[in-house]
Chain A
Amino acid sequence: MIQLEVFLQTLVSGLLLGGLYALIGLGMTLIMGVMKIINLAHGELMMVSMYIAFWLFHLLGVDPYVSLVVTVPVLFVLGVAIQRFLISPVLKVDSILPENQVILTVGIGMVLQNLATMLFTSDYRSTPVDYASDAWYLSDWWRSSPIELSFSVPWVVSFAFAVAITVALWWFLQKTDTGKAIRATAQDRDAALLMGVNVERMTLITFGLGAALVGAAGSLFIPMYYLYPALGGRFTLIAFVITILGGLGSTQGAIIGGIILGIFESMTATYVGMGWAPVGRFLVFVACLIFLPGGVAGLLRRR
């Protein structure tokens, strides 16, 4: 019974983590789908958003969930600026290696991370919200429950926000004209251009949107995670593992990939050991490359 309880508890925390991972993966996969470039500054953008949320909390006492209204627009603008002033010019430069853009995003990530180190030092910081260690228990709702599960309040709230944002994004991509234009650009850039889509503007919006999504993830993660400048690199890696797992450029894939990765990491941490969680992450990545090159999206399409 205990073992079942541990298993279910691990599953629940994995699922909650996966929901947030999905948000990070969505931002990355959008950028990848539309612009065919990999944004290796993705985690660093999240780190920027987390610092904004952190300072809002510490200086003004703004709740991390309220800080969403600041981090999302700020990150959107930051994303647009990066695309407009750094990535667009490089797309036009002729060079031997087409991977220049990827290396460029690495440079951007380095600058962001080290500016954070310079400005805020590399100290670990936490955001002690008063509900940080609150939890809901399964027995609260179901008195005669044979097993006991706990649901951490910040995790559940963050998960709910992540789901809401994902649904909003889905609606935006499916129903609005801009969303349709973005999808058209992702499908076929030239054809979209011929159909009168302002491709240049769509890439700006996409990068902004990708940054805004990961910015939202930053605000949602800050109640649970320690914050330090090098955190970004870890999340960049997570983001691309999710996108590979989900299938490149596929939004459903990113959601499923995020949840799979969350559950898998949680399982590795419980059953193998905390330190091995990152190895598990990359084993998923490698296994996916070998056995499932199209990711989850490829599997869905085959059906």
Chain B
Amino acid sequence: MASVATTLTRHRLALGILAFLVAVPFLPVLGTSYMMHILILMLMWSVIGMAWNLLGGYCGQVSFGHAAFFGLGAYTGGILYHHLGVSAWWGIPAGVVVVGLGALVIGYICLRLRGPYFALGTLAMGEVLRVTAENLEWLTEGTRGIMLEQRTWVAKEPYYFVILLVAAAAYVVMEILVNSKWGYYFVAIREDQDAAESLGIDTTRYKTIALVVSAVLTGVAGAFYTCYMGYIDPEIVFALHDVSIITIMVVMVGGVATRWGPLVGAAIMIVLSELVRTLPYVGTAHQTLFGVLLIVIIIFLPNGVVGDFHKIARLLLRRPAAAESGGA
């Protein structure tokens, strides 16, 4: 029993956040349909962010092509629904298999590359899948996209709890993986691949593991997206900027290789994009602000809001102190 108690205390923060998120739909202000939508997107992006963080943050393999996995997951659900007439929710379990296999193929091609070249390789994979999805009209309906005739639920709450469950599961998977032997292998590969290799770590194998787990989680988020939004087309789910780059931004803004970075990053990005959308003129070009934000974060907060929290705190705390000394 003691071990349960220690586990509970060790994960106080996680449990607190989980309890809060479970309670949200029942709260008066936060429980509105619009807020639920924002929170659903936020949780979905935090799942993708956590997935990317495992591969990019812990294992050091920066992927520019997570849209490939997101889109594969989304299209698994969409194609099952469109061609076989089964519920798009089957896309989640089926997507695990499809995306897992897809990740093995992509990993076989790309994992022989290092650093920036891996990034470019994955980017190319994402684009290949996008163009393929656009051109394979008999399977994917091409640019017309796939539309679900009706969504499972009208209310947002069921979707919210589904994605909350997925996010919680993703968090648990991350915690277990990162704190396991494998997690240390991942970090060793990130820090120095040759050194890791010489110490007997089968780097290709562990990089593949990180890639597949990361891809499968992203694919689940993609399959959820199909069910939630009810419409997908290649430009949306295989988008380079709107999926792959935003994924990187979510993690960069939140904090690379931090536990809460993806969630914080997703919250900041979603809230920011909603705020910007309401602005009359700038709204059309919200990516300008994202780009500027990305540049600022990279230059001034390279470890993100969570990773460089002490820097922000110091900056905020110093100001009143400086004012006091100035007054005296």
CB within 8 Å of B: which residues of A?
37-38, 86, 89-90, 93-100, 102-104, 106-111, 113-115, 117-118, 233, 237, 240-241, 244, 248, 273, 275-276, 278-279, 282-283, 285-286, 289-290, 293
Contacts and interface: CB of A to CB of B under 8 A. Distances in A.
A100 B296 CA distance: 12
Contacts of A290: 109, 112
Contact of B285 (A97, A100, A117): A117
Contacts of A117: 284-285
Contacts of A293: 112
Interface in B102-146: 109-110, 112-113, 115-117, 119-121, 123-125, 127-128, 131-132, 134-135
A37 B285 CA distance: 27
Interface stretch (B75-83, B200-208, B298-306): B298-306
A282 B124 CA distance: 6
A103 to B, nearest CB: 6
Nearest to B241: A110
B285 A115 contact: yes
Q: Give the one of A113, A117, A233, A282 with max B CB within 10 A.
A: A282
Contact of A118 (B121, B124, B252, B285): B285
Contacts of A86: 295, 299
B124 A90 contact: no
A232 B309 CA distance: 35
A248 B120 CA distance: 13
Summarize A's interface: helix, strand, loop or mixed: helix
B245 A98 contact: no
Contacts of A115: 285, 288
Nearest to A279: B131
B128 A275 contact: no
B62 A106 contact: no
B76 to A, nearest CB: 20
16 contacts: A90-B299, A96-B257, A99-B116, A99-B119, A106-B64, A106-B294, A114-B288, A233-B240, A233-B241, A241-B124, A248-B117, A276-B131, A279-B128, A279-B135, A289-B112, A293-B112
A33 B112 CA distance: 20
Interface string B276-306: 0000011011111011101100110011000
Contacts of B134: 275
Nearest to A282: B128
B49 interface: no
Contacts of A108: 291, 295
B120 A240 contact: yes
Interface string B181-201: 000000000100000000000
Summarize B's interface: helix, strand, loop or mixed: helix
B104 to A, nearest CB: 15
B62 A99 contact: yes
A158 to B, nearest CB: 26
Contacts, number: 130
B124 A98 contact: no
A42 B295 CA distance: 16
A112 B256 CA distance: 25
Nearest to A110: B291
A279 B132 contact: yes
B115 A275 contact: no
A95 B256 contact: yes
A245 to B, nearest CB: 12
B294 A104 contact: yes
B288 A111 contact: yes
Contacts of B282: 118
Given A99-B62, A118-B281, A289-B121, 12 more contacts: A38-B120, A90-B299, A95-B256, A95-B303, A96-B190, A104-B299, A106-B245, A106-B294, A244-B120, A278-B127, A282-B131, A286-B128
Q: Give the one of A107, A115, A289, A293 with max B CB within 10 A.
A: A107
A40 to B, nearest CB: 8
A93 B299 contact: yes
Given A37-B116, A96-B256, A279-B135, A104 B295 contact: yes
